Amino acid sequence: MWKLLKHNIYLQRYIIKKSGLFDERYYLKSYPDVRLGDIDPIIHYIKYGAREGRNPNPFFDTTFYLNRYEDVAKSKINPLLHYIMYGAKEGRWAGPNFNSGFYLLSNPDVKKAGLNPLLHYILHGQYEGRKAKTETDRELKLYNYRKLSSLFLFINKSNIKKSIDYIRKYGFRAFINKASTKLNSVVPYEVWIKINEPTEEELTAKKNIKFKYEPKISIVVPVWNTPKKFLIDMIESVLNQTYSNWELCIVDGNSKEKHVKETLEHYTLKDKRIKVKYLKENKGIAGNSNEAIALATGEYIAFLDHDDVLAPFALYEVVRAINENEDVDFIYSDEDKITEDGLKRFDPFFKPDFSPDTLRSYNYICHLSVVKKALLNEAGWFREGYDGSQDYDLILRCTEKANKIVHIPKILYHWRINDNSVAQDPKNKMYAYDAAKKALQDHLDRVGLKGKVRDGISFGLYKIDYDISYHHKVSIIIPNKDHKEDLEKCITSIINKSTYKNYEIIIVENNSKEKKTFEYYEYLQNKYNNIVLLEWKDKFNYSAVNNFAAKYANGDILLFLNNDTEVINENWIEEMLMYAQRKDVGAVGAKLYYPDDTIQHGGVILGIGGIAGHSHKFFPRASFGYFGRLVVVQNLSAVTGACLMMRKDVFNEVEGFDEGYPLAFSDVDICLKVREKGYLVVWTPYAELYHHESKSRGYEDTPEKQERFKKEIELFKKKWGHILEKGDPYYNPNLTLEKEDFSIKRGFFY
């Protein structure tokens, strides 16, 4: 039956509608983006809502149902549709608070009448005092036990030590937040794997698929005294590939452990695609890797560490990407970690598409990396003197020269943790961080960027202090209507704290009423010769006000700033300016906090809440965020207009703010226009301000404001719908659009 329904959305809608189990009012009230998006709620649930974990009524829990019933998740049938057609009769739980089997068993009249148990409970049972579940249900207890027991994976001697170190450095509150994030991700990732990754049957089917172009992939692996199990696991992961045109090029750096040669000889006899070379001396990681590359005859080179493993569909996905992207010469994928025994997968890293400034902050590309042999020859192989960061150095050199870089948003690589691995403890290879800084400095020299590389906030993170090439004049534009106290706090913080002095402040007065506001204006003009007052007499329109002010700006750099912000660090202007001055950068954003020291703005992610949302909103100030994204400079699709810097020539090139957005989304819109012109958008955590958000204007709490907000949403979707549909390139399709916390998306992607 499902096969007939699978591609007929409207028949699915008919069945769901007829069941009475879809509460349209509840759905629209719970998810305002659906209401504002003007889409049929049932169609939305079928196409998007179910895979995003949204619920069709208060009693049916979509995520619970998919997590609980693996067969439903694997079949990829809509969970509510499954419950209507099969689940209710089979006595399945509709959510943690409704047991269909118990309800039918306890109420034979419902069963005899052939009624859907959940619908009966919603319409009658709850009001008649009928029980929805038994509090002693053994199955539910077993489910919760499994969920709890999986957390014990993380309780070990090493993690206890790391936890104590973390508490000492960042405090208990930050530790609790980090621990909660970790623990909450355990079960969802396990479920994500089961839902999204190929089944054994699907893997078998992939072996029979033929591509138009089937290049040979040479997998290069340097080995040295590799533990026997690790070595076998690595080789077996290559043998298990569903794509067959590969060769495994292994070079042994004169291992002393006898099992290494014995194991390698066994496998060379087993499969002629495995090549092995034994060196008389250990040439180090770079030298050994180069010897392995020299064995390669394939068109593409893949890099695999001797103790890690590939997903069985890794090369299949790589070759598919090659076939779908003409001229691609550098490919990388998402990755996760596996325990030392190889039995447990955890800590998935769902990466952004290629982001040059993010790559300069840390080696986020890492595994799996595949390079076209021609590009590798042009960029050069591994270099001596970069041990521990030789892959980072190679990635920097290859991406500089690549024609096309493709990111595969799938987990194709499993990085094993053990007592000596960087994955387990970054402090295990301190020499690697000096090598990374050296590689980055070389990179800057090659691409013509002047700056100095230094350590970031933690091991493996880096910061570049770019030289400010010219004494740019910065025009700080601040629209204002009354709120004298907020404006004063903002202006005072700029004047008292800013170490960069070549700026002017342009206040755009817009229909203020309070006497004290005008008295403050007069005070500023009398005291400071670099503060200008302009008057905008029309009704407030954020875009129009800032466009108006930009015409009067004397600076070659524009800094749009809300009147309810407050500068924190003295060099905030320099930290933004060092990026805004670059010819490849079009806009720069800052890190903003609420007054309670939680994150207000860590950049903008497209698609969150239907349009866009702020990254890591409400996270503690000390939080590192998702894989360090709250503490590293990075590229994004957009940043908030509350503190937005750009060159005046770029502002004019994109024709300023779109005045069709009087209040919302104008900042996101201008950033997308900047991206459309080929410029980068940069967010830096090193320019910090407080943002007392919405004090100046209030929320969309009136029918008039709500109608205006709806119109702006419609305009944005009409203009940028193709971008929203494709997804934010600096996010990842496996991450949720329901929240700002970078948690795993509930539903299907692969």
pLDDT digits (tens, 9 = 90+) for 241-250: 999 999 999 9
**Predicted pLDDT of residue 422:** 56
Residue 185: per-residue pLDDT:
43
Is pLDDT larger for residue 669 or for residue 609? 669
What does the pLDDT read at residue 288?
Answer: 97
- How much is the average pLDDT of 675-689? 98
Instruction: Give how far the C-alpha of residue 368 lies from the chain's centroid of Cα atoms, to the nearest Å.
Output: 17
- Residues 535-551 have pLDDT tens digits of 999 999 999 999 999 99
Alpha carbons 249 and 267: distance in angstroms, whole number: 12
Is 90 exceeded by the pLDDT of residue 614? yes
**In this predicted structure, what is the pLDDT of residue 157?**
57
Beta strands in 602-679 (DSSP E): 604-606, 612-614, 634-635, 643-647
Residue 621, C-beta contacts closer than 8 angstroms, at least 6 positions apart: 593, 597, 598, 599
Q: For 475-490, what is the mean pLDDT? A: 96
Cα-based torsion angle of the residue sequence 534, 539, 540, 543 in order, rounded to the nearest 10 degrees: -80
**Mean pLDDT along residues 99-126:** 89
Q: Residue written as tokens 């809509």?
A: 78
**What is the identity of the amino acid at 357?**
D
Task: Yes or no: say if 687 and 643 are a contact pair by the CB < 8 Å rule.
Answer: yes
What is the arithmetic mean of pLDDT over 615-636? 95
Say which DSSP state 368 is in: S
Region 106-113 average pLDDT:
87
Using pLDDT thresholds of 50, 70 and 90, give the confidence band for residue 71: confident
Per the listing, tokens 């980072």 go with: 392
Q: How many CA within 13 A on the CB side of residue 457?
A: 16
Q: What is the amino acid identity at position 562?
A: N
CA distance 452 to 444: 9
In the chain, the amino acid numbered 646 is: M
pLDDT digits (tens, 9 = 90+) for 129-182: 888 876 544 444 443 444 444 444 445 555 677 678 767 766 765 566 556 545
| Of the candidates 128, 293, 129, the residue with the CA atom closest to the CA atom of residue 221 | 293
Q: Is the peptide bond before 368 cis (omega within 30 degrees of 0)?
A: yes
User: Quick one: pLDDT at residue 215?
Assistant: 98
Give me the domains of the chain, ranges plus CATH numbers: 2-136 (no CATH), 145-196 (no CATH), 207-425 (3.90.550.10), 474-726 (3.90.550.10)
CA distance 380 to 390: 12
**DSSP class of 540:** P
> For residues 391 and 382, what is the distance between their CA atoms, to the nearest angstrom?
8
Question: What Å distances lie between residue 731 and 348, 435, 589, CA to CA?
Answer: 14, 28, 17
Say what the pLDDT of residue 137 is: 47
Does residue 695 register a pLDDT over 50? no
d(C-alpha 274, C-alpha 244), whole Å = 12
Q: 34-48, 627-641, 732-746 — which one is most confidently predicted on average?
A: 627-641
Burial of 583 (0-12, 13-18, 19+ CB in 10 A): exposed
Structure tokens at 473: 């004049």
Cβ-contact 80, 92 below 8 angstroms: no
Task: Please tell me the predicted confidence (pLDDT) of residue 33.
Answer: 76
- 120 φ/ψ angles, rounded to the nearest 5 degrees: -60, -40
pLDDT at 518: 96
What's the token pair of residue 381?
């192989």
> How close are the terminal C-alpha atoms of the chain, in Å?
23
Strands 643-647 and 557-561: antiparallel
Confidence of residue 750 (pLDDT cuts 50, 70, 90): very low
Q: Is the pTM of this model over 0.85?
A: no
What average pLDDT does range 227-245 have in this prediction?
Answer: 97
**Confidence check: pLDDT of 128 > 90:** no
By three-state DSSP, how is residue 701 classified?
coil
Confidence of residue 184 (pLDDT cuts 50, 70, 90): very low
Q: What percent of the chain has pLDDT over 90?
A: 72
Which whole-number Å values give the CA distances from 221 to 278, 311, 500, 569, 667, in the listed order?
A: 12, 16, 50, 46, 47
Contact (Cβ atoms closer than 8 angstroms) between residue 37 and residue 610: yes
Sign of CA dihedral 596, 602, 606, 607: negative
Question: Is residue 207 scored above 50 in pLDDT?
Answer: yes
Give the DSSP letter of residue 743. Answer: P
Q: Which residues contact 112 (CB under 8 A, 6 or more apart)?
A: none
Which tokens sit at 223? 């080995």
Find how far residue 657's CA is from the centre of its chain: 27
252, with CB counted inside 10 A (0-12, 13-18, 19+), is buried
What residues have CB less than 8 Å from 654, skipping those under 6 apart? 586, 670, 673, 674, 676, 677
C-alpha 709/C-alpha 748 separation (Å) is 31
pLDDT of 395 strictly over 80: yes
pLDDT of residue 153: 45
Token output for 231: 């070595």
* pLDDT at residue 681 greater than cutoff 60: yes
Contact 628, 458 (CB under 8 A): yes
Q: Give per-residue pLDDT as tens, 339-376.
A: 999 999 999 999 999 999 999 999 999 999 999 999 99
Is the pLDDT at 721 greater than 70? The verdict is yes
pLDDT confidence of residue 4: 63
What is the reported pLDDT for 30?
83
Residue type, 414: H
Strand, helix or coil at 665?
coil
Residue 291 CA, chain-centre distance (Å), reads: 36
State the CB neighbour count (10 A cutoff) for residue 446: 12
Cross-strand bridge partners of residue 477: 506, 560
Q: What is the pLDDT of residue 652?
A: 98
What does pLDDT average to over the chain? 90
- Highest mean pLDDT: which range of 116-130, 149-163, 695-709: 116-130
Q: Is residue 177 within 8 Å of 619, Cβ to Cβ?
A: yes
What is the DSSP code string of 133-201?
A: S-TT-HHHHHHHHHHHHGGGGG-SHHHHHHHHHHHHHH-HHHHHHHHHHHHHHHHHHHHHHHHHSPPHH
Distance CA 467, CA 455 (A): 17
Specify whether the CB–CB gap between 414 and 338 falls below 8 A. Answer: yes
From 201-205, 516-520, 648-652, the region with the lowest mean pLDDT: 201-205
pLDDT per residue as tens digits for the range 496-532: 999 999 999 999 999 999 999 999 999 999 999 999 9
Q: Can you tell me the distance from the alpha carbon of 416 to that of 232, in angstroms, rounded to the nearest whole number?
A: 13
Q: Evaluate whether 477 touches 508 at the Cβ level (below 8 Å).
A: yes
Q: Report the pLDDT value the prediction gives residue 683, as an integer from 0 to 100.
A: 98
696's tokens = 């100046």
pLDDT (0 to 100) of residue 11: 84
pLDDT given at position 708: 81
Contacts of 539 (CB under 8 A, 6+ apart): 511
The pLDDT-based confidence of 192 (bands split at 50, 70, 90) is confident
User: Which residue from 571, 581, 558 is spatially nearest to 508, judged by alpha carbons?
Assistant: 558
pLDDT, residue 36, reads 74
